[in-house]
Structure 1
Amino acid sequence: MQLKGRIALITGAGSGIGRQLALEAARRGLTVALMGRRADALQETLSMMNRRGSHVALPGDITDPETRVALRQYIERWWGRLDVLVNNAGVVCVGPLVRTSDADLERLMATNVIAPAALIRELLPLLHKAAPSRIVNVGSMFGDIAYPLFGAYSASKFGLRGLSMALRRELKEFGVGITYAAPRATNTDAAGAFERLAAPMQMRIDAPEKVARDIWIAVARDADSVYAKGPERLFVLVQRLFPQLVDRSVASQMADRRVRAYLISEGVWPTAPQSGVGRGGFG
């Protein structure tokens, strides 16, 4: 896809990967509609962008059906089409499932799975008008490698990956492509939720600028997916072919005394069991 002159909608554009996706899009000559819950954060992103494009900030909650309808109406009125939809908005839920509330689960699935699916459905007429067009769903390495203490989050990203695969087959004949992006841990505000687990689980953490750049390169190439470069690509293959190897590696990480200390602090274990330090890691 030739990116210059295209119109893109990016959700979760007020910070982190979403902000960097918007900045990179502007540098590549796209006109961008920024979507997010916080108007002040969107305006900050807008102020950082290349102003040669007629970019716009559209604050709202993407999980709200009325917001999605209003978004479609706005884009249809001003541009009449949509070339690239980037479903980047997402929330992270970290910790033992026993400490995860119904509200946490509902918010996680509503934001990470239901909203992207509903937004795609709402904007498909505009994507059809722009064909060849593209949908980008920003998932996670945890959407391929299910991780303990990220169970609900992994489930949501597995769901988004499944949605991406199904829609790739469903929409191909209509000229709408799907790119599924699976970054590893990224240095964003959300990273604070798993800060204590990053070292014992040997997570490699990328800069959001790099993640955004890699995603737009993939879109320009009409790639079906984009994964973090490095050993993670091998880990995904191992997970699919020899999942028991991943089980053993992750089990050794869970035995790390720092993970045990985290679980004790969460009230899962009243006292510390015998600890051990494992090797290997997936980020």
Structure 2
Amino acid sequence: MNSLQGKRALLTGASGGIGKAVLQLLLVSGAEVVVTGRDEAVLSQLISEAPGRVYPFATDLNDEKNRQALYAFCLQVGGIDILINNAGISQFSAHAEQDFSALITTNLLSPMQLTQLFMPMLKQRDGTVINIGSTFGSIGYAGFSGYCASKFGLRGYTEALQRELADSKVRVLYLAPRATRTAINTPQVDALNRALGQGVDSPEQVAKALIDQLISGRKRRYLGSAENIFVRLNALLPGLVDKALGSKLQRIKQYFKPTSAKNSVGV
């Protein structure tokens, strides 16, 4: 894909930090965008500030009827060429306190089902799917057991779909951001990142990487040089990563909060 000019994208989780930044760059690149999110007022504010053609559709994508209604809406506006599965939630807490059902449904099942629903349309238009994963889709991390499980699943799903559609013109891409400065992180997570000196990107940096990947067609991209090394090391020599993260375990647990599992925020 040499250009996004004239393309129409469906962007989920458009009201989050990464979503807002992606929307701006899509529009600057000449694309039209169907945006979804759960808060109609937030979406209305978002499109009032957008420099281009934006079609809002407020809904909860975890419901099958809502996904079908979104599909019908996209047909009305002329269909889509690009599906950006960006919506998600995160929880940082002890394993016993996590809401696994919410994490798996929002971060894994809904993107899979939405992709399945739109695939016939994308095949007709030689379209693109890009799934927004995470470094934690390749590295298990204490306090993020449910989130890691959902993102590991999304990475596996993306890889399998890439290989299944290798004989078609549909492109299936995977972008794995590292920690990003958005509301999906609780104050405890922000404090932990500072304490451990972990790199944190801005939403704009992630958005630029996404647009570059859409144009280049690169199948997989992991943000952050140190994170790239850890991902590869974890795949080849997981015992070394066990030791590295194990040495930080007690420090990580200091940031666990009993109520943190109830404070997840969508992106």
Q: TM-score, normalised by structure 2?
A: 0.92
With 224-233 and 10-19 compared, the bigger mean Cα shift is at: 224-233
Residues 240-279 of structure 1 mapped to structure 2, 5 A cutoff: 240-256=235-251, 259-263=252-256, 266=258
- State how many pairs are aligned: 257
Q: Distance in 2 between matches of 1:19 and 1:120?
A: 21
Q: Distance in 2 between matches of 1:173 and 1:76?
A: 26
* Residue aligning to 1:13: 14
* Residue aligning to 2:211: 216
What code does the residue aligned with 1:94 have?
A: F
* Residue aligning to 1:74: 73
The 8 Å contact of residues 97 and 151 in structure 1, kept in 2 or not, is answered as: yes
Matching of residue 50 in structure 1 with residue 43 in structure 2? no
Q: Distance in 1 between matches of 2:35 and 2:158?
A: 22
Matching of residue 31 in structure 1 with residue 38 in structure 2? no
Which of residues 197, 200, 207 is equivalent to 2:202?
207
Where structure 2 has 5 or more consecutive residues not aligned to the other structure, the ranges are: 260-267
Calculate percent identity across the aligned residue pairs.
32
The structure with the larger Rg is: 1
Matching of residue 163 in structure 1 with residue 157 in structure 2? yes
Question: Residues 260, 7 of structure 1: CA spacing in aligned structure 2 closer, same or farther, 3 A cutoff?
Answer: closer
Q: Distance in 2 between matches of 1:112 and 1:262?
A: 23
Secondary structure (helix, strand or coil) at the match of 1:76 reads helix
Secondary structure (helix, strand or coil) at the match of 2:103 reads helix
Which of residues 88, 100, 121 is equivalent to 1:90?
88
Q: C-alpha displacement at 1:201, in angstroms?
A: 3.7
Secondary structure (helix, strand or coil) at the match of 1:67 reads helix
The 8 Å contact of residues 23 and 50 in structure 1, kept in 2 or not, is answered as: yes
CA RMSD of aligned residues (A): 1.5
Residues 95-244 of structure 1 mapped to structure 2, 5 A cutoff: 95-100=93-98, 104-131=99-126, 133-192=127-186, 194-244=189-239
Q: Distance in 2 between matches of 1:198 and 1:83?
A: 37
Q: Distance in 2 between matches of 1:130 and 1:144?
A: 31
Where structure 1 has 5 or more consecutive residues not aligned to the other structure, the ranges are: 268-283
The 8 Å contact of residues 178 and 224 in structure 2, kept in 1 or not, is answered as: no
Q: C-alpha displacement at 1:118, in angstroms?
A: 0.4
Secondary structure (helix, strand or coil) at the match of 2:207 reads helix
Q: C-alpha displacement at 1:186, in angstroms?
A: 0.6
What code does the residue aligned with 2:10 have?
A: L
What code does the residue aligned with 1:238 have?
A: L
Q: TM-score, normalised by structure 1?
A: 0.87
Q: C-alpha displacement at 1:195, in angstroms?
A: 2.5
The 8 Å contact of residues 15 and 43 in structure 2, kept in 1 or not, is answered as: yes
The 8 Å contact of residues 76 and 126 in structure 1, kept in 2 or not, is answered as: no
Q: C-alpha displacement at 1:206, in angstroms?
A: 0.7
The structure, 1 or 2, with the larger RCO (C-alpha pairs under 8 Å, 6+ apart) is: 2
Query: Displaced runs of 4+ in structure 1, greater than 4 A?
Result: none
Q: C-alpha displacement at 1:93, in angstroms?
A: 1.3
Q: Deviations over 1:244-263 (max 9, x none)?
A: 1111110111133xx34334
Q: Deviations over 1:187-209 (max 9, x none)?
A: 11111252232234432111001
